[in-house]
Amino acid sequence: MKRLTKWMVLGSAFLAAMATLSASPAGADSLGDPRPGASSVPGDELSARALVLTLTQGLTVLPSTRAVVLQCSPVGGGTHPKTREACTALEPASGDVRKFKPAAGLVCPLIYEPVTVSAVGVWKSRFTMSSQTFGNSCQMHNALGAVGSF
């Protein structure tokens, strides 16, 4: 039951963030002509890609200590400080933070201070939610790169 509740809270945060972004005049004007075939951009580029990313000190998703909105398409935006780099890194992972692994050869201190990152939203117009816990923030930054830089 606790797991369902945390995802409901994260989902609600995501929907609230998306409502804020969709109300933005810049986002609405950037979409161009909505007629089928009117855009020269491939259909996959126009599919929705937006996530609410949260960071929590500890093993659980809630209560989060930081949260950002990452909007990758149809227009880039949100509150993530490295939108372009994070969107590029998330593309091969289909928005799933569990698919990120630490880079080989990078050494982090052996201090156990777990951090949990979660992602809730839509990727290629499909709902997605994932979370991953790392042994410490160094391991998180090593694995996530720009995605975890918020």
131: Cα within 13 Å, side-chain hemisphere: 22
pLDDT tens, position by position, 76-110: 899 999 999 999 999 999 999 999 988 888 899 99
pLDDT band of residue 117 (cuts 50, 70, 90) is very high
pLDDT recorded at residue 2: 52
Torsion of CA 104, 139, 59, 95, to 10 degrees: -70
Structure tokens at 79: 């509150």
Q: Is the pLDDT of residue 27 over 50?
A: no
Please tell me the least confidently modeled range out of 6-10, 33-37, 44-48, 113-117.
33-37
14: Cα within 13 Å, side-chain hemisphere: 23
Q: Check whether the bond before 63 is cis (ω within 30° of 0).
A: yes
